Amino acid sequence: MHCTHLFACPFCDATLAQIDNTLTCTNSHTFDIAKEGYVNLLRKKLPGDTKEMLIARRNFLEQGYYQPLSDTINALVSTALGPETPPFNILDAGCGEGYYLGRLQQRLVNRFPHAQCCYMGLDISKEAIRMAAKKYKAIQFVVANLKERLVFVDSAFHALLNIFAPRNVDEFTRVLIPGGIAIIVIPAPTHLSQLRSTFHLLNIEENKQQHVIEQFSSRFELTDLRTIEYKVRLSQGAMIQAILMTPNYWHLPGELKEAAEGIEEMETEVGFVCMVFRRHA
């Protein structure tokens, strides 16, 4: 297991070391490494995205509908790291099944083929982490709660991604190096607007962009902001995937497929806001 030196025990914050297929701290807390290579550092079992949600998300994303967002994230990270020479450490806080971090890792490996960098993905869903670890072998994945103290040592990371996931500003500050960057991605107000109106989906929080900027203002400087908007044409299957992969999954009636009957395809706008924050030195 690589990148073990970045982990901190979820119970006592001591650093973790690997002994055979176990991580252990100086206070004898132990955590087994799963056969897929990930480790579960949840203090207590909590629900996350379900297998159905995750399969829908992977199938949807791998059709390329959100690739412009992924490409923008990759470009922003590359620009923000700038002339800094590797190795560097990158955390995807709320990584889901690993799509965005997997594409970023490949982009940076192509740019720095000999660098010994650490790529870390964290999610509360064990199903998500298992799926991610099976596919993205060069990335270290961990099951942990983003809303609690993060299971990493201080100043562990040079860059952090947070894509459609809860934000923990205090902990992002702690685990980033001074001058490190956090890339926060939220849906734009127009995101999936046609799909939302047709299927009566959850509304996007009003003034969310300004709320996020205010959240980070005391610890970070906003250095870049990009809005990405374009139209996609979704098949009936892709429409259902786009709905099932989001929190709408928990609020929809069981007749989603029936509701989509007769709608063979739909054009809808997608929109994302990418904010780059640099941690105050």
pLDDT number for residue 112: 81
Q: Cα-flanking dihedrals φ and ψ of residue 194, to 5°?
A: -65, -40
Predicted local distance difference test score (pLDDT) of residue 85: 63
CATH of the domain at 94: 3.40.50.150
Number of independent structural domains in the chain: 1
- pLDDT at residue 251, rounded to an integer: 65
The span from the CA of 118 to the CA of 18, in Å, is 16
Model pLDDT, residue 227? 97
* SS3 assignment for the chain: CCCHHHEECCCCCCECEEECCEEECCCCCEEEECCCCCEECCCCCCCCCCHHHHHHHHHHHCCCCCHHHHHHHHHHHHHHHCCCCCCCEEEEECCCCCHHHHHHHHHHHHHCCCCCCEEEEEECCHHHHHHHHHHCCCCEEEECCCCCCCCECCCCEEEEEEECCCCCHHHHHHHEEEEEEEEEEEECCCCCHHHHHHHCCCCCCCCHHHHHHHHHCCCEEEEEEEEEEEEEEEEHHHHHHHHHCCHHHHCCCCCHHHHHCCCCEEEEEEEEEEEEEEECC
Each residue's pLDDT expressed in tens, for the chain with a length of 281 residues: 678 999 999 999 999 999 999 999 999 999 999 999 999 999 888 878 889 889 999 999 999 999 999 999 999 998 888 766 668 899 999 999 999 999 999 999 888 887 788 999 999 999 999 999 999 999 999 999 999 999 999 999 999 999 999 999 999 999 999 999 999 999 999 999 998 888 877 788 889 999 999 999 999 999 999 999 999 999 988 988 888 888 777 666 566 666 667 787 899 999 999 999 999 98
pLDDT score, position 28? 94
Tokens at 53, concatenated:
């949600």
Q: In terms of residue numbers, what domain contains 243?
A: 4-279
